[in-house]
Structure 1
Amino acid sequence: MSTLKPEIIEILNFRQLAEITMFPPLHNNTDAIFKILQRIKKGNYIDTLTYMSNFNIYAKQKNLTTLMNTEVKYSLLDSILRQLSSDFSWFTKITWKNWFQNQLVLLLPNVNQTLLNYLPTAIDCDSFQALVKGMDNIYEKLSDTSKEDVYNYLKKYGQANSSGLLCDAQNSTLWVINNLGRYISLATYEELVNLNRNFNGFEVLDFLNIQQIAEMTVFTQLHNVSANMSLIFTKLKESPSKDLERYILLFNNFAQQRGLITLKNATVRDAMLGAILNLLSPELIYFNYSDWKEWFQSRLTLFLPSMNKTFLKLLPFNITCEAYQSM
């Protein structure tokens, strides 16, 4: 069975084609798989569905969670998506769900920009969200490049709509879950706002990474200062200590990009400096000269105009003269 004659393939039905695809000697046999794919191309939608349904049945029977080499899996996914593309126009939510949450699960980790081009952008929200769920299910199996490709497709879907927005939802949490899933990590905060005019990042802090939170802080200037500030710095307090440092560096970068040389809103500035120093204070006793210089001559520059007696009490006295002078 390591070789397949074309005349044999022509007389097999699509269930049998799926079965022989599962034979170990064919797993890495690109020539044999190519012959099977040529036969699939001659079939109709029902033939393709029959093939993939049985493909998954036989894979489950053999306890195969990953199949074949990358080239073979890619060729299979390419052929199936190409074959389905002429039928996408009549797909319903149920059909999209069946294909992207069931039938294609073993092959989808090989998706890339080229294959995503087979997918339409002119589909209704229910269908799109069924597709998103399927893509979210395989998120951890994708390469970083493939994750970017999927996110770009999701973004393109929103931009292709007349409104330029992704599908609406009752709140930002549901919007993220239904329209982006874990691919939200690939977005900038500005992109999220452009895809949903009602997007509220403070509702979905658990979904946002440090870079997005820093950009959001600059972007929104913390409209509701006390509540929003508390949410951000509670999250930073629960995060690794390095996240505070990264947050401040990113905040400064985004502020510079937007031309902010001062924080004119004193309420925002006061609240941020207080929150930063409270998180930083346990670490200050371990600071060396370079640390003091970096924080007080660079990282905290935008916030230091808010320094007052209360905040100064958070600074230690037992530091070296060099550290004191750099501060």
Structure 2
Amino acid sequence: FEALDLLSASQVAQLAAQSGALNNADLIRLVFDRLDGDNALQDVGEFLTALLRTSQALDINPVVRDIMMNRAFAILSLHFEDFESHDWVSWFTVKLVSLLPSLTAEMLQRVTSYTDCDAYHVIVGALSSVFEQMTSLRQQELTPVLLGYLKQRRASGSTCSTNSSNLSTYLWACFGKFSIYVDYEDLRGLIEGFGSFEALDLLSASQVAQLAAQSGALNNADLIRLVFDRLDGDNALQDVGEFLTALLRTSQVCSRFGHQSCGERHHDESGLRHPQPPF
């Protein structure tokens, strides 16, 4: 690493990939010391792009990845104010994708403070693409930031809807895979028509329980079959257990405060609600 100053950003990426720097905190700090110069934004972008070319499945130590994300974000965030649509796409769906599992809630808060709705949807999609690589704690930490952004947009009279009338598409655009951590009542408050059964596949078992209790599914054979079709997947035992436990909690609330507190809704003869465009 003695000749780092003489190498281009692309060459530094090749050196990092071949030298073991992606698993060595001290070496990766040297790499970013080299990149953090007069042309830092361009060099970091070139470095990350070249790194992806060396291997589409980069094996980066989580501690090293955190360092890389912190250093890259410190450089990148200085330019958010000047970002255009293509910049959000380029950085968050390509250049940063291998580092996104290390994005913190504080970083996401800063990102969303500069995004319009189109850029927000790009960010949600990018984060959802690495959802399984994040820890459960990180997933849960990021979700309130997404929810807060949408609530703020709604309060200001600006919506982040999509052109689709499909409820699942709306929910995916708003939260992606993070929807399972959003409180059911928040989802209902943000998305009109959310009480329908179109988006079952994007709900957690607990959210499905709340929907079942409030939609009349407990008195409708067709709807309850849809519920169990959703639960009967790869994690069926866990999901059914979570569903029944959440259903008991919902039932206790309903019995304490009366049937109407369960949010009974009007249905047509099929028992299905017709979704309305959200927001």
| TM-score, normalization by structure 1 | 0.67
Change (3 A) 1:213 1:88: same
Aligned to 1:168: 161
Would you say the 8 A contact 1:41–1:83 is kept in 2?
yes
Say whether 1:142 aligns with 2:134.
yes
**Larger RCO: 1 or 2 (CA < 8 Å, sep 6+):** 2
> 2-side partners of 1:180 and 1:264: how far apart?
29
Q: Displaced runs of 4+ in structure 1, greater than 4 A? A: 240-246
Counterpart-to-counterpart distance in 2, 1:11 and 1:67:
26
- Equivalent residue in structure 2 for 1:83, among 51, 57, 75: 75
The question of 1:111 aligning with 2:107 is answered no
**Greater Rg by CA:** 1
Residue aligning to 1:53: 49
Q: Identity over aligned residues, as a percent?
A: 20
With over 3 angstroms needed to count, the CA separation of the structure-2 counterparts of 1:258 and 1:24, relative to structure 1, is farther
Which residue matches 1:303?
A: none
Residues 22-65 of structure 1 deviation map (CA, whole Å, 9 limit, x = unaligned): 123423332221122122222332222212111211234xxxx1
Q: How far apart are 1:181 and its partner, in Å?
A: 1.4
2:102 partner amino acid: N
Give unmatched runs, 5+ long, in structure 2.
Answer: 265-279
8 A Cα contact 2:80 2:114, kept in partner = no
1:129 Cα offset (Å) = 0.7
Tell me, in whole angstroms, the C-alpha distance in 1 between the residues paired with 2:244 and 2:63: 44
How many residue pairs match? The answer is: 253
The alpha-carbon deviation at position 244 of structure 1 amounts to: 5.9
Rate the CA distance shift 1:263–1:233 in 2: closer, same or farther, 3 A: farther
> Counterparts of 1:16-55 in structure 2 under 5 Å?
16-42=11-37, 43-55=39-51
Structure 1: tracts of 5 or more residues without a match: 269-327
2:184 equivalent to 1:189 = yes
Q: Residues 226-241 of structure 1: matches in 2 within 5 Å?
A: 230-236=222-228, 239-240=231-232
Give, in angstroms, the shift of residue 137 of structure 1: 0.9
Secondary structure of 1:67's counterpart equals coil
Give, in whole Å, the separation in 2 of the partners of 1:17 and 1:138.
25
1:1-327 paired onto structure 2 within 5 Å: 4-5=1-2, 8-42=3-37, 43-60=39-56, 65-161=57-153, 163=155, 167-169=160-162, 170-218=165-213, 220-222=214-216, 230-236=222-228, 239-240=231-232, 246-257=242-253, 260=256, 262-263=258-259
Amino acid in structure 1 at the alignment position of 2:81: S
SS in structure 2 at match of 1:180: helix
C-alpha RMSD over aligned residues: 2.9
Q: Counterpart of 1:27 in 2: which secondary structure? A: helix
Distance between the aligned counterparts of 2:131 and 2:67, measured in 1?
20
8 Å contact kept, 1:157–1:166:
no
Change (3 A) 1:21 1:249: closer
Amino acid of the structure 2 residue aligned with 1:94: H
Q: Bigger CA drift: 37-46 or 71-80?
A: 37-46
Equivalent residues of 1:122, 1:157 under 8 A apart = no
